[in-house]
């Protein structure tokens, strides 16, 4: 999965202080078709940034980063019975928390930004039980 974009977090001055946190992650989920059982099989954190502005702090605290990542998500321990079916989901997630005057900016939709969907390859390795 490819991610190209810009992320930033800012904790602005505040009487009580402020906090901003941003996590950008990719993941791979596998479901049993029809059964609804979920196996969260892979996760890669791409960006994890936190800033804090102390009470009565006179300046904002900021962090920013350009993201240009190609993440390999794989799983090779899946056992599917004969005739069984699975559903595979690749995802990009954005999680943020803030309080006070905290803010997060995530841009993966601009002119030069993008999230690319993966080319999925499945390779069956038969197991013969005698």
Q: What are the DSSP calls for 52-90, one per residue?
A: EE-TT-SS-EEEEEEEEEE-----------TT--EEEEE
Write down the pLDDT at residue 37. Answer: 65
In terms of pLDDT, which residue wins out, 82 or 94? 94
**CA nearest neighbour of 47 among 93, 113, 98:** 93
Tell whether 48 is covered by a domain: yes
Q: What is the mean pLDDT of residues 38-46?
A: 75
Domain that holds residue 102: 2-116
- Summary mean pLDDT of the chain: 78
Does residue 23 carry a pLDDT above 80?
A: yes
Whether residue 122 lies inside any domain: the answer is no
Residue 106 lies in a domain: yes
- 123 assigned to some structural domain: no
* Percent of residues, the chain, with pLDDT higher than 90: 0
pLDDT score of 40 more than 80: no
Report pTM. Answer: 0.67
Instruction: Name the residue among 47, 54, 48 with its Cα closest to residue 102.
Output: 54
If we measure between CA atoms, which residue out of 122, 117, 112 comes closest to residue 1?
117
Q: Residue 8: inside a domain, yes or no?
A: yes
The mean pLDDT of 96-105, rounded to a whole number, is: 82
Domain count, the chain: 1
pLDDT at 123: 67
Task: Note whether residue 125 is domain-resident.
Answer: no
Average pLDDT value for residue range 36-59:
77
Task: Give a yes or no: residue 124 inside a domain.
Answer: no
pLDDT category of residue 34 using cuts at 50, 70 and 90? low
- HEC string of 23-34 equals EEEEEEEEEECC
Say if 11 falls within a structural domain: yes
Q: What angle do CA 63, 14, 93 make, to 5 degrees?
A: 40
């Amino acid at each position: 999965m490819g991610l190209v974009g810009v992320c930033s977090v800012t904790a602005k001055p505040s009487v009580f202080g402020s906090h901003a946190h941003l996590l950008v992650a990719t993941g791979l989920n596998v479901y049993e078709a029809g059964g609804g059982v979920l196996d969260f099989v892979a996760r890669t954190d791409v960006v994890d940034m936190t800033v804090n502005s102390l009470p009565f702090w006179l300046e904002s605290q900021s962090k920013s980063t350009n993201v240009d990542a190609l993440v390999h998500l794989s799983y090779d321990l899946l056992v599917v019975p004969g005739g069984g079916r699975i559903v595979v989901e690749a995802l990009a997630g954005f999680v943020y928390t803030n309080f006070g005057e905290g803010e997060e900016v995530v841009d993966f939709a601009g002119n030069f930004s993008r999230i690319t969907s993966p080319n999925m390859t499945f390779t069956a390795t038969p197991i013969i039980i005698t």
